[in-house]
A and B are shown apart, each in its own frame.
Chain A
Amino acid sequence: MNFELSKKQQLFRQMIRDFAEKEVKPIAAEVDEKEIFPLENVEKMAKLGIMGIPIPSSYGGPGGDNIMYSIAVEELSRVCGTTGVIVSAHTSLCVAPIYEFGNEEQKSRFLPKLCKGEWIGAFGLTEPNAGTDASAQQTTAIEDGDSYILNGSKIFITNAGYAHVYIILAMTDKSAGVKGITAFIVEKETPGFSIGKKELKLGIRGSSTCELIFENCRVPKENLLGKVGGGFSIAMKTLDGGRIGIAAQALGIAQGALDETVKYTKERKQFGRSISQFQNTQFQMADLQTKTEAARLLVRSAAFKKDSGVSYSADAAMAKLFASETAMEVTTKAVQFHGGYGYTREYPVERMMRDAKITEIYEGTSEVQRMVIAAKMYK
């Protein structure tokens, strides 16, 4: 048992924190305010190897690990939730399934460009009538010669519009239930594929969230990911990995809000002294830091299990459940500590509170995480 980050992971944390402080933090408020997708920073991150951290060099990645990946999302989200989720959705929901379930030809065709940031990745599972009940897919894929013809739509798709590669789930056999769902790699220029309505959101406002529309979209058979009928299993395993990313995002937001609150409560004077000197402040802050640290251990433990190749589904669910609920609690209290100032956009905690909320919802709501955890307990 060793709770210390390896030297490699420590050096990486130093690098990503430096990058986040100097490149991401200065524009975070503007990214939120004007709903700007931070493309320039994505390009900078790609150059440094941040857009495919756990992928080996044989597929164009830097050969890092999932703990490093979780540190990246945590440190980016500490200053900007938007940037954190762009990296998370790209890596966990597009790069990872191609790496884990793709054939050799698909891996060498897609991974180098995705890891080098020439292409951004996205994932489409959710539909208007298939949210938590993801098996109720209405998008269809009908075999036609050397292709499949996709029809239907997906909603709330992160990175949509900016992504070049989309992992899309569709029904190839309605009679087979979840065994009739198949995964496809759909490229941006595929005829019949278009981007629909862009959502206006409470938080992570710089991240692009749109509808995907498939109208007789012809996807070549070589873009079928995994086996016909194996899509639901791919989607669930992909989301297991994604939950480490979102847990890390929530953790980063919580830590960012705590850092801001420590700074503010030290500076803010009421009744003749700094409000950090009040026991109420200290006790509440101690509880919040303890919860945040517990979330960090859950995130790292889930990432460690993924790196070790053992089952981590419930671990990722626990990490995401606890980290996201902690983020919501920490950011809400952070705003309270800041008082009226915290409610304004002059301080970053109101943005952090808005950003935190989504972590309890996407890639499986808190309720879904509880279902996953309980299912493991009662199996």
Chain B
Amino acid sequence: MCILKEMKIVVCIKQVPDTTEIKINPVTGTLIRDGVPSIINPDDKSGLEAALTLKEKHGAHVTVITMGPPQADAVLREAMAMGADDAILLTDRKFAGADTLATSHALAAALSKMEWDLIITGRQAIDGDTAQVGPQIAEHLDIPQVSYVQDIDYNESIFTVKKKTEEGYQVLEAEAPLLVTVLSSANKPRYMSVQGIVNAIDKEVKVSGVADIEAEESKMGLKGSPTKVHKAFSKGVKSAGQQFEVEEEEAVGIIISKLKEKFII
């Protein structure tokens, strides 16, 4: 007799400042983070939605995991209120200052102690825009990966994945174990439900530190981060420029004369 085991999905999420609400201090040119709400990174939220859709269609156990400060508990509760079954918070001072490599090492270490058929991450985070953590996790765990995923479905132990490319889409098939990085355009994430919120508040979030996931300390946090920020600056404000509403031919002439004026040509 063939016993179908329940699919296990782990979704990696990140708590990020809502960059649409961030304002720049006009004097110092730095970000004003005060009072800016923290949200689930949009690509990750779509990754969670993809997992919950698979759960509804095929049955699955969905775990969410995040690495962050203790306040990141909030995004895990939100994920559970949307329908995730349980949650893990990787938090430890030793994780602090992690770049993408140290982050992916920490997440991979935690994941290697868990069971999963599918790992989902967002394509990239709106506060860093690197798109590196997902692919790095797959490399550390030595499993296949598909990035820039627009759609994912599952049938008879095969995942069918629609990957967005510059020209269009690739449709790929893969077996578990697999890691995919999902685009925020893949779906419209569901709202939390009232019932989900009530349940999520009482659920336990498993908290793990470096020792719990048996990770190599030298690969964690600032120590494990080869990325060094050379310089941070805010982009200078350009002047409004000149606008000409003219016919094409005349426009060419204007462009050439302007380029000559500035000794570019």
Interface positions of A (Cβ within 8 A of B): 6-8, 11-12, 14-15, 18-19, 47-50, 53, 57, 62-64, 68
Known contacts A11-B78, A14-B78: A19-B191 contact under CB 8 Å: yes
Within 8 A of A (CB), among B244-261: none
Bound Cα distance A184, B194 (Å): 30
Evaluate contact between B195 and A11: CB separation under 8 angstroms.
no
CB distance from A268 to the nearest CB of B (A): 20
Chain A residue numbers with a CB within 8 Å of B192 are: 11-12, 14-15, 48
CB distance from B21 to the nearest CB of A (A): 13
Evaluate contact between B194 and A11: CB separation under 8 angstroms.
no
Chain B residue numbers with a CB within 8 Å of A48 are: 191-194
Chain B residue numbers with a CB within 8 Å of A18 are: 191
Bound Cα distance A266, B45 (Å): 33
Known: A8-B198, A15-B191. 15 other contacts (CB 8 A): A8-B197, A11-B77, A11-B81, A11-B201, A12-B197, A15-B192, A15-B197, A18-B191, A48-B191, A48-B194, A53-B194, A57-B195, A62-B195, A62-B197, A64-B198
Chain B residue nearest to A69 (CB atoms) is: B194
Leading 6 A-B pairs by shortest Cβ distance: A49-B194, A62-B194, A62-B195, A15-B192, A8-B201, A48-B193
Verify if B89 is at the interface (C-beta below 8 Å from A): no
Q: State the total of A-B contacts with C-beta under 8 angstroms.
A: 48
Evaluate contact between A63 and B198: CB separation under 8 angstroms.
yes
Interface of A is mostly: helix
Chain B residue nearest to A18 (CB atoms) is: B191
CB distance from B248 to the nearest CB of A (A): 36
Evaluate contact between B195 and A63: CB separation under 8 angstroms.
yes
Chain A residue numbers with a CB within 8 Å of B200 are: 11
Chain A residue nearest to B200 (CB atoms) is: A11
Q: Flag B135-154 by CB within 8 Å of A: 1 or 0 each.
A: 00000000000000000000
Bound Cα distance A200, B215 (Å): 68
Chain B residue numbers with a CB within 8 Å of A47 are: 193
Bound Cα distance A11, B198 (Å): 9
Evaluate contact between B194 and A12: CB separation under 8 angstroms.
yes
Bound Cα distance A64, B77 (Å): 16
Evaluate contact between B191 and A62: CB separation under 8 angstroms.
no
Q: Flag B164-203 by CB within 8 Å of A: 1 or 0 each.
A: 0000000000000000000000000001111101101100
Chain B residue numbers with a CB within 8 Å of A7 are: 77, 201
Chain A residue numbers with a CB within 8 Å of B197 are: 8, 11-12, 15, 62, 64
Bound Cα distance A278, B90 (Å): 50
Chain B residue numbers with a CB within 8 Å of A19 are: 191
Bound Cα distance A49, B78 (Å): 16
Bound Cα distance A50, B197 (Å): 12
Bound Cα distance A49, B196 (Å): 9
Chain A residue numbers with a CB within 8 Å of B194 are: 12, 15, 48-50, 53, 62, 64, 68
Chain B residue numbers with a CB within 8 Å of A8 are: 197-198, 201
Bound Cα distance A12, B196 (Å): 10
CB distance from B227 to the nearest CB of A (A): 32
Chain A residue numbers with a CB within 8 Å of B77 are: 7, 11
Bound Cα distance A49, B100 (Å): 39
Chain A residue numbers with a CB within 8 Å of B74 are: 11
Chain B residue nearest to A15 (CB atoms) is: B192
Known contacts A7-B77, A11-B81, A15-B81: A49-B201 contact under CB 8 Å: no
Chain A residue numbers with a CB within 8 Å of B81 are: 11, 15
Bound Cα distance A47, B193 (Å): 8
Evaluate contact between A49 and B191: CB separation under 8 angstroms.
no
Chain A residue numbers with a CB within 8 Å of B198 are: 8, 62-64
Chain B residue nearest to A19 (CB atoms) is: B191
Chain A residue nearest to B192 (CB atoms) is: A15
Within 8 A of A (CB), among B193-220: 193-195, 197-198, 200-201
Bound Cα distance A12, B193 (Å): 8
Chain A residue numbers with a CB within 8 Å of B78 are: 11, 14
Bound Cα distance A57, B197 (Å): 13
Bound Cα distance A264, B153 (Å): 46
Q: Please name 7 pairs of A and B residues whose Cβ atoms are closer than 8 Å in the assembled complex, sorted by A.
A: A8-B198, A8-B201, A11-B77, A15-B81, A15-B197, A18-B191, A50-B194
Bound Cα distance A291, B194 (Å): 30
Within 8 A of A (CB), among B73-110: 74, 77-78, 81
Most A CB within 10 A of own CB, among B77, B193, B197, B201:
B197
Q: Flag B112-146 by CB within 8 Å of A: 1 or 0 each.
A: 00000000000000000000000000000000000
Bound Cα distance A7, B205 (Å): 14
Chain B residue numbers with a CB within 8 Å of A11 are: 74, 77-78, 81, 192, 197, 200-201
Chain B residue nearest to A8 (CB atoms) is: B201
CB distance from B206 to the nearest CB of A (A): 18
Chain A residue numbers with a CB within 8 Å of B193 are: 47-49, 62
CB distance from A366 to the nearest CB of B (A): 32
Chain B residue nearest to A54 (CB atoms) is: B194
Bound Cα distance A14, B39 (Å): 10
Bound Cα distance A53, B196 (Å): 12
Bound Cα distance A68, B198 (Å): 11
Q: Flag B215-250 by CB within 8 Å of A: 1 or 0 each.
A: 000000000000000000000000000000000000
Q: Flag B61-77 by CB within 8 Å of A: 1 or 0 each.
A: 00000000000001001
Bound Cα distance A332, B201 (Å): 40
CB distance from B235 to the nearest CB of A (A): 24
Chain B residue nearest to A52 (CB atoms) is: B194
Chain B residue numbers with a CB within 8 Å of A62 are: 193-195, 197-198
Bound Cα distance A53, B197 (Å): 11
Chain B residue numbers with a CB within 8 Å of A6 are: 201
Chain B residue nearest to A10 (CB atoms) is: B74
CB distance from B26 to the nearest CB of A (A): 15
CB distance from B64 to the nearest CB of A (A): 15
Chain A residue numbers with a CB within 8 Å of B191 are: 15, 18-19, 48
